[in-house]
Each structure stands twice: as structure tokens, then as C-alpha cells.
Amino acid sequence: MLRAGLSVKTLWQLMEMKTKTCLKVHGRMADLQHAMGAFRWMSSVRPAPVLTAAPVRALIDEQISIKGRFLPPNSPITLCSRMHSEDGDLWEAFAHYNTDASGSFSLTSDRSVGGSYTGCEPMGLFWGLHPPPGSREGLRLRKRNVETPYTVHVSLLEGHISPSGGPITELAAVTTERSYMAPGVRRIDIRQNGIVGTLFLPPGPGPFPAMLDMWGMGGGLNEYRSALCASRGYASLSLAYFEHKDLPGPLRELNVGNEYFKSAFRLLQDHPQIVAERVGIVGLSFGVYLTLNLATQPGINPSCLICINGPMGRSHFLPGDKGEVKYWNYDERGYIAFRQISLPSNMAPEYKVKMEKINCPLMYIIGEDDLSSASTENADQIEEELRAAGKSHLFTRLSYPGAGHLIEPPYAPNARVTMWRIKPEKMVALFGGYDAPHAAAQEDAWRKILCFLESNLRG
């Protein structure tokens, strides 16, 4: 029981004095620090430490508020986030904080003083995730099964420590779920008229505005951006065009042409739950060239275009082809930067998009530390050609210092280096970007993308 008229803080001070006196009397001063440290964190007069996350379940682009309380005042603590990718690889981040005078902290308002990031970063435990030392080379975190969430375990630890993949002793913990698909979003496999993709429809009967979604030359079928677009009210078709088992072979070759992309765009327009005259296109990396090229094809009239770090044309070779090796730049580890091949001056004239044919709003997003594509130079060229055609009003530029090639939906970890391919020989590619500015770019760009879509597909 508490003594009448005494606060918990006063009682703490009295018990602390009593403990010190007892230790002195019995001659055990060497144990003083350890005893008081244990008592400090496990006090019987204070509830056990609590760590909360709100909301516990959220879409990937939503912030989570992480708070702790019932801790010793003005004390060092560490927060550690851990998750496993779908390939089973461990990803983790950690940050050092100090509790306030009431024994509480909040990532929304408090600053990290060390660890994977510093400063006030409410979502740093998510975008700061990286494989610990000793992990496989060139890992990149990508969601393949968008129908299941990422599960991230957040631990509260005593003191300022560096977990580094090893075992940890938790004072408290909370597990969060991060999803790309909102409840009610429908995922539909598309294998018709030679088209290979996945269509995502928002909840409800529609009709909806829509986006055709194209990624780069990493190949396969990336669904997570489309799933998130549908979660935000836009039907979206994620389109495979390279290195997919259901496409014409051989792999490592681009075996589809303009008619394939035009058919995909028309599939969206013809869908009964999509507004035919409100369809846009988004492309990243080589997908930028495909986006711009498709927008200039006869009979294709997109409502808007979003281009993220990519070229306005191409050479006679595809990224990663041996024929373009003269344009590759290697760092001291033998990692490859593909940036030079996408300079406008290195593009084949017949593969350069005629920008005067663009007739809809175009947003171009630049990571200024992009090591895979000459994004700034391409944006400059696009803007210059649109201006010459009297269409400068169509162009919006977003440019982010310190951001790299893969500007994705918010709070995804940056992949500065990634495994490009393993066969026939291992190639590790440089994508660029630094964690904190890249994370800020992704958050700001996504917010402005949604505003751009609202204006041009709904307005």
C-alpha cells in the first residue's frame, strides 16, 4: 500500500535511499549499481513497461504511432523492429531514445539519438529496415503475395544497444501488420488475348478511374503498387512484359511490342467497372519509356502519365545486355551502374519518344542520387521538348536530393544495391539513394501522386 500523502515518485526516492543504506550496512557496495539498476526497471510500485502501436493493422502508406510508458524517467532505451521477408531473410532496424521525466516516449515527437537513423522519424523503424551483417548479398524487400501483410515485431530494450541480428531481452513488445490490399479490394489474374498481368479493383461496384502499371527490366510481375492504388480507389492493372513464364520466350529478351501494351490499355478501357475516359499510366525505370511510348500511339489517349526515374527512349540494347557493356560503370566492388546507357545522347533516334505527341498531364519524379537511370537529364530533355511544342503546362517535375532509383510507396526500405541477376553470371546493380532522404522522397512523392491522380482521374 502507498503511504498516505506520498506520491509514487516520493515513494521511489525513499525506497532507493533505504536500499542504498542496507547495501552499505552489509558491505556489499560492489552490488549497488546492479541492484539499483534491476530495481529501477522492475519496480514493484510502477506497472510493467508498455509498448503500443496505433493502429496495429494499417495500409503500408499509413503512419503508425509507437509509444512507450511506465519506464524509469530520463533513461536510455532501444527500440528494435524485426521481420522476415517471404524468402525467409531477416530484416531489422533499431534506434536509441531517452524517456522523458514521466518515463514515457513517443516516436511521433521524440528524436532518435542513434542507431539505424537519427532525428524525429515516426516511421524510421520501418523504412530503416535492412538485413543484418552476414546476410545474403544484394537483398531487396519486395512483397510478392499482396494478399498477406508484412508482420513487423517491435521490441523495447533497456539501454542503448545494437541488436545486430542476435538474441534480445525484451522489456515490452508489440507486433504490427502492414498491408498493400485494403479489405474488399479484389485481385484478378489476367491471362487473356496474350496479356499477362493482375487487375486490382477497389471495393464497391464502380465504375472506377484506372491506372496501367509498368515496372522496369527486373522482369516478372510486381503487384504491390497496383494493390495499393486499388486500396486508394483506383483500379490498376500490373502488367508483365519481360521475364515471365507466361510470356513468349526466350527469357532475357523483350518479346512483346506496341500492340501488347495497347491491348493492355484497352482492356482497362473496356472493363465494365472502369471509366473508359479516365485511364492513366504509371511507369518506373524502363517502364517510363514504355509509358511515354504508349501514350503517343494512335488511338491511345491516357488521362495522365506518371514517370519515375526512367528514360524517354532506349538504345538498341536492353538494360543488362552485353551489347551495352561499354556504357557500364563499375565501383570498387564490381557492382554495376547502368546510368550512362540511359543518357538521351546514347539513345537510338528511332527509339526516342516524340514528346510533341504527348497530350495529357505528365508528372516526372526524380531521385537525384539515381545510379541506374539518368533521370535528371531525361526530365530536362522531356521538359525542353514539351516547351518547344507549346505544352510546358502539361509537365510537373518532382526532384529529391539524396533519393535513389526505386522510389516506391512510402516506408519501404531503400535498396541502394540490389542483385540484378544470378544467371548466367552474377550481376549486382547500383540503384543509389540514402535511407533518410530516400524515405522522405517516397512519402512526399506518394502524397503528390495521389493528389495528381485525384485532379486528373477524378476531377
Q: What is the pLDDT of residues 387-419, one digit of tens each?
A: 999 999 999 999 999 999 999 999 999 999 999
How do 105-106 and 305-308 pair as beta strands? unpaired
User: CA 102, CA 41: separation in Å to the nearest integer?
Assistant: 14
- Please say if 26 is a catalytic residue: no
Alpha-carbon distances, residue 56 vs 27, 49, 51, 150, 411 (angstroms): 49, 18, 11, 12, 15
At 174 the pLDDT is 98
Beta partners for 329? 337
- Please say if 370 is a catalytic residue: yes
Catalytic residue chosen out of the listed positions 285, 303, 315, 375: 285
At 318 the pLDDT is 63
User: CA 201, CA 186: separation in Å to the nearest integer?
Assistant: 5
At 60 the pLDDT is 98
Query: What is the reported pTM?
Result: 0.89
- 288-320 residue pLDDT tens: 999 999 999 999 999 999 999 999 998 766 655
Domain chopping of the chain, boundaries: 50-179, 186-316+325-458
Beta partners for 93? 81
- 1-11 residue pLDDT tens: 334 444 444 44
User: CA 201, CA 159: separation in Å to the nearest integer?
Assistant: 47
At 165 the pLDDT is 62
* Cα Dmax for the chain: 93
Q: What's the Rg (C-alpha) of the chain?
A: 26
Which segments of the chain have a pLDDT < 70? 1-45, 165-166, 316-324
Q: Which helix (H) or strand (E) holds 399?
A: strand 395-400
Catalytic residue chosen out of the listed positions 96, 130, 271, 405: 405
- Are residues 65 and 108 in contact, defined by beta-carbon separation less than 8 angstroms? yes
> Which residues fall within 8 angstroms of residue 100, CB to CB, at 6 or more apart?
73, 74, 110
Catalytic residue chosen out of the listed positions 226, 370, 372, 373: 370
The class of domain 50-179 in CATH terms is mainly beta
At 267 the pLDDT is 98
At 19 the pLDDT is 44
User: CA 242, CA 92: separation in Å to the nearest integer?
Assistant: 32
The CATH number that domain 186-316+325-458 falls under is 3.40.50.1820
- Please say if 153 is a catalytic residue: no
DSSP-based three-state secondary structure for 250: coil
From the CB of residue 275, how many other CB atoms can be counted at a distance below 10 Å? 18
User: CA 34, CA 41: separation in Å to the nearest integer?
Assistant: 11
Alpha-carbon distances, residue 446 vs 80, 140, 167, 259, 280 (angstroms): 26, 20, 36, 30, 16
